Amino acid sequence: MTGTRARFEAMWADLHPVGRSPVTAGYRRFAWSEADLTCREWFVGEAVRRGLDVTVDRNGNQWAWWGDPDGGGAVATGSHLDSVPDGGAFDGPLGVVSALAAVDLLRDRDVRPVRPLALVNFTDEEGARFGVPCAGSRLMTGDLDPDRARSLRDADGTTMAEAMSAAGHDPAHLGRGEEDLGRLGAFVELHVEQGRALVDRFAAVGVARGIRAHGRWRLDLYGQANHAGTTRLADRDDPMLRLAAAVLAARESADRHAALATIGKVNVEPGGTNAIPSLVRAWLDARGDDEAAVRAVVAAVGAAGAAEPVEESWSPEVTFGRPLRDRIAGLLGGAPVLSTGAGHDAGVLSGAGLPAAMLFVRNPTGVSHSPAEHADIDDCLAGVEALATVLADLLTGQS
Ligand code: HGY
Ligand code: MN
Ligand code: MN
């Protein structure tokens, strides 16, 4: 594995500084930003170095091909390179770097694919800039309307269409990629685990059972701007009080419905220390074992905040298909099978009917969406080995 270790660490070292905050050590690789474009250029360089043909689909997703893209039943693997604000180094990039390292390993072992292999960097998986997660894969599957996507705005008011155009990608052709989907026979995504299941099982690699239902809603809480020092309490219409009620309701209803609810992003207007806000805009991230539980939490939060939650994205519960999952678990000697509450492009593709699976790599603390996110190099190499084993089987075995 020394060759793999050296190659993995060299790629990791190249990516490591891109979009990393010197203050927090977290990453800010937002879709179509300078940091994201640098990551995209890095991906192309690594692919070209391996003689892979790089294409960009109508939705901006990058594909690096080993074999003829139209060879039929392609196996795809990869993940994303964008991040949440102050995200960790592994969420997304581990899947992309491992895919490249797995190609090297397959070639070391003289594996001769009978079907094409595509390495993919899905664009805008986190939805950190424009608010819709898995935007690149949702556009590809038709799960995200292209007109809605083009008009999504970031915090500065820049639309996704403007950001894409500025990055040199024409947004005019966004939409379901029949041809792109038609090329694929299966998708396998390797991802750092965002939890402690593998730690608790003393296992380096696991296989995904499925993804819990989850979505994002926006609460617009309007109030009456006024002076903090002269407005009597009885005369106030302060939306902050409704935000407080909504946050407490989120925790209470999530607990009651065995769900998870987070309000991690709040915008206050006008944002003056000595002014009662005119508007408090808050985003709810709710997740649960089924849709009913999630929607019960959303309803409770809306009632507490006295505002109708505006749904910005919805991801139904995903159960990855047993044939591919069992084939992979078998290849990996009965690796633990785990469910997750984190969304992934593999879930979007599975929901669109493509056989999809995920491999998880042990995260010693389980912490993610944080600069503290980590995976030990030996576990990363175990992930590459596992991915190469799975790809060798899928690329040479019976489809
Ligand atoms: O939010 C998620 O579950 C994923 O990180 N996009
Ligand atoms: Mn993430
Ligand atoms: Mn991810």
Reported as a single tens digit per residue, the pLDDT across 232-263 is: 999 999 999 999 999 999 999 999 999 999 99
Quick one: residue 126, left, alpha or beta (phi over 0 = left, psi -120 to 50 = alpha)?
alpha
Pick the atom of ligand 1 nearest to 127's CA: 6
Residue nearest to atom 6 of ligand 1 (CA): 126
pLDDT of 397 higher than 90? no
Of the CATH numbers 3.30.70.360, 3.75.10.10, 3.40.50.920, 3.40.50.10310, which one belongs to the domain with range 215-315?
A: 3.30.70.360
Query: What pLDDT was estimated at residue 358?
Result: 98
Which one of 344, 348, 360, 373 would you pick to mutate in the ligand 1 pocket, going by the greatest count of ligand atoms within 8 A of its CB? Answer: 344
Backbone torsions φ then ψ of 206, nearest 5 degrees: -135, 170
pLDDT tier at 334, thresholds 50, 70, 90? confident
Q: Report residue 218 as tokens.
A: 């926006």
The answer, as to whether pTM is greater than 0.75, is yes
Q: Please write the tens of the pLDDT for every residue from 28-48.
A: 999 999 999 999 999 999 999
- For residues 378 and 381, what is the distance between their CA atoms, to the nearest angstrom? 5
pLDDT of 93 higher than 80? yes
Q: What is the mean pLDDT of residues 325-340?
A: 95
Query: What pLDDT was estimated at residue 1?
Result: 54
Q: Report residue 271 as tokens.
A: 């944002």
Q: Which of 295, 279, 274, 296 has its CA nearest to residue 242?
A: 279
Query: What pLDDT was estimated at residue 126?
Result: 98
- For residues 348 and 356, what is the distance between their CA atoms, to the nearest angstrom? 9
Quick one: residue 193, left, alpha or beta (phi over 0 = left, psi -120 to 50 = alpha)?
beta
Q: Please write the tens of the pLDDT for every residue from 360-369.
A: 999 999 999 9
Q: What are the pocket residues of ligand 1 if the criterion is a CB atom closer than 6 Å to any ligand atom? A: 125-126, 133, 342-343
Which one of 79, 86, 126 would you pick to mutate in the ligand 1 pocket, going by the greatest count of ligand atoms within 8 A of its CB? Answer: 126
Q: How far is the CA of 285 from the centre of ligand 1 (A)?
A: 10
- Looking at domain 2-212+317-396, which CATH architecture does it have? 3-Layer(aba) Sandwich (3.40)
Per-domain residue ranges for the chain? Answer: 2-212+317-396, 215-315
Q: Do the Cβ atoms of 323 and 113 come closer than 8 Å?
A: no
- For residues 200 and 364, what is the distance between their CA atoms, to the nearest angstrom? 9
